[in-house]
A = this chain, B = another copy of it.
Amino acid sequence: MNAQALVVLSGGQDSTTCLYWALDKFGSNAVEAITFDYGQRHRVELGCAARVAEFAGVSHKVMPIDTFAALGGNALTDRNIGVQKEVDLETGLPNTFVPGRNIVFLTFAAAYAWQRNIEHLVTGVAQTDYSGYPDCRQETIEALQLTIRLGMASNVVIHTPLMSLSKKETVLLARDLGALEAMALTHTCYDGRRPPCGECPACELRARGFNEAGIEDPLLAISA
């Protein structure tokens, strides 16, 4: 059977939850995953994505993007810039913001899907309770969906199951979808540490979500 849905899988908590959401919605033989190797500081997530995909039994493609490292200028793809918790006063954004990242990820995912006649893309972006990245907002994704439909003459649908969920609600959704076991294989830390550093903005956000949901993070249980 031809796959129906392609999940953008980073190897983190949110995209892993989305993978299980897609398996639930489209069926266990109808989902594939794609991961981007874009020179990210937290490269350990590439291995996590492969292990999550294997654990979930879905086909997995790693696609290179060398452009973000060439662009530099942000803390995720430029080794000379450290992760700061505060927003940059000039841009009003955290210095982990990689301009264009989600637009490019979803466009390349759409190109890969276009070649394979897959119409459904699934991404873990969310506008609530997150780092304030403008490319994670609902209106950005809607505009991008229209752009890709027009630019590829396709009927692509971009699904964002976590868009309006808090981190707590995302954890509860993962539990309901049976995704908690896979969470032990995921990765979140901006500094690329596993076990997690527990201090960077991404680790803090993850910890808060599990705490508020009253569920122990399986990643911590494994590491302990």
Chain A residues near B (Cβ < 8 Å): 63-67, 70-71, 73, 91-93, 98-100, 102-104, 107-108, 110-112, 114-115, 134-135, 137, 139-140, 143-144, 146-148, 150-153
Contact = CB atoms under 8 A, between A and B. Distances in A.
29 contacts: A64-B66, A65-B65, A65-B66, A66-B67, A71-B108, A99-B115, A99-B151, A100-B108, A100-B111, A100-B114, A100-B148, A102-B151, A103-B103, A103-B107, A103-B148, A104-B104, A104-B108, A134-B150, A134-B151, A135-B150, A135-B152, A137-B150, A140-B147, A140-B150, A143-B143, A143-B150, A144-B147, A146-B147, A147-B147
Work out how many copies of this chain go into the complex.
Answer: 2
B92 A153 contact: yes
Nearest to A110: B100
A54 to B, nearest CB: 21
A151 B103 contact: yes
B140 A143 contact: no
A115 B151 contact: no
Secondary structure class of chain A's binding surface, majority of residues: helix
Contacts of A91: 153
Given A64-B67, A108-B71, A143-B146, A153 B93 contact: yes
A204 to B, nearest CB: 23
Interface core residue of A91, A93, A135, A150 (most chain B CB under 10 Å)? A150
**Which 10 residue pairs across A and B have the least CB separation, nearest first?**
A135-B151, A100-B111, A99-B111, A143-B147, A140-B150, A134-B153, A100-B107, A140-B151, A143-B146, A99-B114
A86 to B, nearest CB: 17
A100 B153 contact: no
Contacts of A147: 103, 140, 143-144, 146-147
Contact of A115 (B73, B139, B144): B73
Nearest to A149: B143
A135 B73 CA distance: 28
Contacts of A153: 91-93, 134
Given A64-B67, A70-B63, A104-B107, A99 B146 contact: no
Contacts of A64: 66-67, 70
